[in-house]
């Protein structure tokens, strides 16, 4: 019994000695390192090139670029890249009331107009022309995309379908997209205003 008691006391004593040694050991200064910055834009070298990559994988052109007909069907017209719904293009003869009633979306042949329960929405002009985003600051652009608000007006209406609500895109990514769009050809094109549902009295 005495042997066990002596052994327990020895263990406790050793623990106390170790604790004292840890508390009284010489202090070593922690070297703080700056968080690594993405100076090379994920390997693309610049915000513009990274933005071009993001615009391509997000497939912004599929809605925001008017189409031209080829032997392979309609393809984006690169001479009007990102200029949105052409001002003078009429809507096709679609029964809007039917589409709105049953809640399905109809896209016109050009792929820049969309009809559904919300009415009719038109793809915006994303070029750096005054009729596009030429006068927009990067902050206004970020507010528009991140908060899903028309023209970055926080108290205004939400963006209409089929414009997605980006919830995981970062500020750096939005800044890169903005930087790239500032480099595309400026195209004068005043996109028509959205139309309310047919059930709404004009």
**For 48-107, how does the pLDDT look when each residue is reduced to its tens digit (9 = 90+)?**
999 999 999 999 999 999 999 899 888 999 999 999 999 999 988 888 988 888 888 888
DSSP 3-state of 175: helix
Q: Is the pLDDT of residue 37 over 60?
A: no
Residue 19 has pLDDT above 90, yes or no: no
CA 61 to chain CA centroid, nearest Å: 14
pTM for this model (two decimals): 0.78
pLDDT at 201: 57
Query: How far from each other are the two terminal CA atoms of the chain, in whole angstroms?
Result: 98
Q: Which ranges constitute the DSSP H helices of 59-158?
A: 61-64, 96-102, 138-146
**Among all chains, which residue has been given the structure tokens 């995309």?**
145
Predicted pLDDT of residue 162: 94
Name the residue with higher pLDDT: 44 or 26.
Answer: 44
Buried b (16+ CB within 10 A) or exposed e, 142-157: bbbbbebbeebeeeee
Predicted local distance difference test score (pLDDT) of residue 26: 53
What's the pLDDT score for residue 35?
43
For position 9, what pLDDT does the model report? 41
pLDDT above 90 for 29: no
Q: Are 164 and 170 in contact (CB under 8 A)?
A: no
Separate counts of helices (H) and strands (E) for the chain: 6, 5
**Residue 31 pLDDT > 80, yes or no?**
no
pLDDT in tens, 138-194: 999 999 999 999 999 988 899 999 999 988 899 999 999 999 999 999 999 999 999
Report the pLDDT value the prediction gives residue 124, as an integer from 0 to 100.
Answer: 97
């Amino acid at each position: 019994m005495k042997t066990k008691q002596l052994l327990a006391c020895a263990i406790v004593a050793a623990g106390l000695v170790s604790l004292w040694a840890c508390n009284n050991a010489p202090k070593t200064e922690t070297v703080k390192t700056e968080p690594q910055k993405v100076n090379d834009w994920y390997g693309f070298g610049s915000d513009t090139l990274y933005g071009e990559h993001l615009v391509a994988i997000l497939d912004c052109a599929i809605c925001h670029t008017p189409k031209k007909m080829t032997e392979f069907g309609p393809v984006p017209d690169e001479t009007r890249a990102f200029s949105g719904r052409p001002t003078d293009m009429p809507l096709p003869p679609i029964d809007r009331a039917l589409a709105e009633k049953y809640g399905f979306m109809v896209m016109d042949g050009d792929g820049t107009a969309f009809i559904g329960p919300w009415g009719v929405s038109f793809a915006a002009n994303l070029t750096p022309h005054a009729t596009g985003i030429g006068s927009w600051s990067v902050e206004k652009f970020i507010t528009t995309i991140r908060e899903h608000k028309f023209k970055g007006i926080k108290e205004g209406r939400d963006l209409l379908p089929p414009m997605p609500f980006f919830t995981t895109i970062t500020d750096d990514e939005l800044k890169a997209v903005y930087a790239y769009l500032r480099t595309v050809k400026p195209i004068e094109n005043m996109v028509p205003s959205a139309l309310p549902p047919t059930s709404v009295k004009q």
